[in-house]
Amino acid sequence: MTTTPRWLRRGLLALAVAALLAQMAAAMLTTAVEQTSTIDEPVYAGAALVQIQEHSLRYNPEHPPLGKLIIGAGLSYGEAKVDPAFVGDQTALGRWLQYESGYDPARLMLLARLPVIIMTLLFGLAVFGFARDVAGWLGGLVALALYAFSPDVIAHGSLATLDAIVSGFLVAALWMVWRARRRPLLYLPLAGLALGAALATKMSALAAVPVVLGLAVLSVWHATRPSPGAAPATAGAASAVGGGAASAPAGGVARAGRWRALAVGGAAAVGVGLIAVGVVWASYLAVDPDLVWVSPPDLPAVHGLRALLVDAVPFPQPYRDGLRVQFGFEDGKFGGYLFGRSYSDSVWYYLPAALLVKTPLGMLALWLAGTVAMLAVRRLRPAAPYVLLPAGVLLGAAMMGDRDFGTRYVLFMPMLLAVAAAAMVVVPWRPVFLRGATAALVLFVAISSVRTFPYYLPYSNEAFGGPAKTHLRLNDSNVDWGQDLGRLAERLRTRYPGEQVWLVYKGSGQPDFYEIKFRDPLRTPPEEVRGLLVVSNSTLAKAINGPLAHLVATSTKIDDVGHSITIFRR
């Protein structure tokens, strides 16, 4: 019986990994080229340029600088410069950079997005490596396939925003802590670097700190605890000399060994934490070595546990002030929209419900089955604290937030649960059937993902009607983040030339720049609104009553653009 040479197996594995990442890269690049800027991207791009060119932290202080430095790495290859005489807030800076500075906004956004695309592809390798360590090379391929075809990961991995970056660094930190079970001296420092990079990208990563440090203790305890055979051997030797009385000292030795392992683990966790703190400080000092900072005069006041947290974090003052800004956002009333209902506050179940809509059905099935397998199969159970516990804690922390804006806040879910899904290939019960079912579900995910190309941001699964129906259940960055203004201009130019356009657009783009000639229907008597009524779906979703609701009710839908903008004829 012949076996496949090892070099050939490795070559085929590398080819499969490259193919999955190549299709993901093609999807993200196409999306990055075709979409105009979303609402948040110009803010990050403007702040990134100020960080790099002026070594200043004054813009976008509510987020640490590392993610913006990554975005700025792409912008540094362009000619864009921030006018030192510019005066305005971060929103005005982003608008000026895109439309008033004279630079090509499409090229500007592509340069800002390219580093995020590269990082997203690298994080795919982390997901593959994590799953391979847990479930072998076949499990690694399953996890990478789910990651590479995830509409949410593709959508946000192709934007110049921070969500994909922070989630990827957190997954990398958890992978390194898992690997530290065998070689803690090598992998725990890497875990500290990855955790610090996450903290230096978004403050939401603070929720992961106790989890990662606790897992560091667990990994060191596993790596240094006394071997199971040590105590019996010692007891046997003592019995030969002094009889049965030696069993108690042997047990004491074992307990002392366990306590020593825990003490070493605690010290290692402190080391991981110190490295993470160092990364955060380094990111701020990389922007401004003198760390010149004046706290904004309008910082929100924080009290209670929040105030204790702000004072306790061992980070630079701009980080602590940014944390105050984030807590101020949480006290705001942003409202939300879910399953056709607008609400003024937030609902605790928003994120699980949004994930149910925006995750491919095959992926949901594999997440659930992989979770059960990881808990039920003895061989896989040690990985559960490193995969399922962080996913649960981070999801719970995100659910406590008051901003029901989208699944981008839980982008770590399709990353971590892809690793959990990989467990299906090593379940000993009916392995041939389970592997076949896993392959079929992965194929179902791939087909669902490819069918939505290149409209990944408004994706929803088949049970909820697909991307054309997403706006009936969700809004904001789940479906319409202002990304299709360029596509709208092209559609109007090619299909509806010369027609009167009445536009209600939600986004950071400027319709005039794209030569969209329009009037505002909300500032015009309804009887005069005749022609094309064009409405962003995030606005349309909340048009329950009022002038816009009347205009829509007395119009006929004739077209949609990217599943984020609807065109009516009136």
Q: What is the pLDDT of residues 457-471, one digit of tens each?
A: 999 999 999 999 999
Output the pLDDT for position 488: 96
CB 128, CB 51: distance < 8 Å = no
pLDDT at 83: 85
CA-closest candidate to residue 276, choices 328, 216, 232, 231: 216
List Cβ neighbours of 508 (8 Å cut-off, separation of 6 or more).
37, 38, 39, 40, 41, 42, 91, 94, 95, 98, 482
Task: Please name the residues in contact with 545: beta carbons below 8 A apart, sequence gap of 6 or more.
Answer: none
Rounded alpha-carbon distances, angstroms, from residue 93 to 46, 109, 157, 483:
6, 14, 23, 19
What is the pLDDT, as a whole number, of residue 245? 43
| Rg (the chain; Cα; Å) | 26
What string of DSSP letters covers 199-233? HTT-GGGGGGHHHHHHHHHHHHHHHHSPPTTHHHH
Cis preceding-peptide flag for 454 (omega within 30 of 0): yes
The pLDDT of residue 84 is 82
Gap between the Cα atoms of 32 and 158, Å rounded: 5
289-298's contacts with Cβ under 8 Å and 24+ in sequence apart are 289/55, 291/316, 291/317, 291/318, 292/56, 293/57, 293/317, 293/318, 293/321, 295/321, 296/61, 296/321
Give the integer Cα–Cα distance in Å for 8 and 11.
5
Contact 303, 289 (CB under 8 A): no
Residue segments in the chain with a per-residue pLDDT below the cut of 70? 1-3, 226-254, 256-257
Sequence ranges of the domains in the chain: 162-231+252-292, 484-569
Q: For the chain, how many helices (H) and strands (E)?
A: 21, 6
Q: For position 239, what pLDDT does the model report?
A: 36
Residue 546 is predicted with a pLDDT of: 85
Q: What is the pTM of this model?
A: 0.93
pLDDT score, position 226? 62
Bridge partners for 561 per DSSP: 565
Nearest to 45 by CA among 151, 133, 162, 167: 162
What does the block give as tokens for 171?
């997954």
pLDDT of 227 reads: 58
| Predicted pLDDT of residue 545 | 78
What is the number of alpha carbons within 13 Å of residue 338 lying toward its C-beta?
23
Q: What pLDDT, on the 0 to 100 scale, is given for residue 234?
A: 40
Instruction: Return the pLDDT at 494.
Output: 95
What 3-state class would DSSP assign to 288? Answer: coil
